[in-house]
Structure 1
Amino acid sequence: MEEILTSEKLSRQFYIRPVIKVAKELLGKILIKKECGKTLAGRIVEVEAYDGKNDEASHSFKGKTKRNEVMFREGGYFYVYFTYGVHHCCNVVTGREGYGAAVLIRAVEPLTGIETMALRRFGIRKINEKQFYNLTNGPGKICEAFAFDRSHSGLDLTGDKVYITNAPLLKKSEIGISKRIGISKSTELPWRFFIKGNKFLSR
């Protein structure tokens, strides 16, 4: 576990590439948040790509606004938005400055800080197996467990508060591909990527 948490942070160069490539290669990487001397960490197991002006489902499709301006920064920034008046969703900005692409983190496998996550999600520190697999298996659940909100939007992922560390690339045979979930536009695009067989997938 220590080796995982001390792995090299992903560099700016990783993020400034095309969104589909970044999305696939984020699978297996470790999302880390440092807070009050504690470390929360989870392995990224499910993502969706949103490709700016080429994608009607993307927040940036119609151009830059106050709400989505973080998406138009160069790759490597954290974009957090509030949706349906219910929960937050966290994203990784990709590509060149001004492009407007991002990867939605849909599910992670919790690694450290599990008691803290459990307290936020269920109000208790000790959870059963069913609760464990339900801890971070959805975009809103991730943000609740990690306590991500709009105040984290715009954080530099090459910094020290929230970042992603490296892990070996998955084999092509380990990656599942499907249409994205819960959208009404550009529904035909197969831009949801996930680790096959992982127990923490959103579905």
Structure 2
Amino acid sequence: MAEPNVLLLDEPTNDLDIDTLQELESLLDGWAGTLVVISHDRYLIERICDSTWALFGDGKLTNLPGGIQQYLDRRRELIAAPAAPSAPSSASPGQDAASGTASGAASSSPGLSAQEDRELKKELNALERKMQKLSAKVDTLTAKLADAAMPADGNIDTALLADLDRELQGVRSEHDDCEMRWLEVAEMREEGHV
């Protein structure tokens, strides 16, 4: 148990303040092992989970490739179903009787599957968090560089300046790479929704 690879979490975000919640989400988002999460927290599920499952009261565990949105759509259908007449449907198996479309198809994105869309969204969120951290690091290094350029004793350590500058350039380059990847992923996601 020193290094677990499976976590079972039942409503892990209940009663957490925002800072603790964000730290927990970051930790779980980077978890290398398997997570089984039971939660009503839609944002948490969309951020950390690769596969979504639900119970609809029929005694079965149902996989939802469309994620939370598919769950909400299915719940609406189930609630509306008793009000609808129970006439036989001419739709073939695997098709939605109301629309004639294949069941499980992502209605929100014709070019991307729901799973692909969620993965791209998850990557965008991860890139945004990484860029925020890199921006903070750029600010810190810039401040250190300014302090090193004007020391209190007047003795400038050129080696320290060179090291800080090299590190700053590396962080800026990494930030630029993240920004370019973010633009690529955002474009892929946008094209998938057209």
TM-score range, shorter chain: under 0.3
Which structure shows the bigger proportion of residues in helix conformation?
A: 2
Instruction: State the TM-score, normalizing by the size of structure 2.
Output: 0.23
Larger radius of gyration: 2
Instruction: State the TM-score, normalizing by the size of structure 1.
Output: 0.22
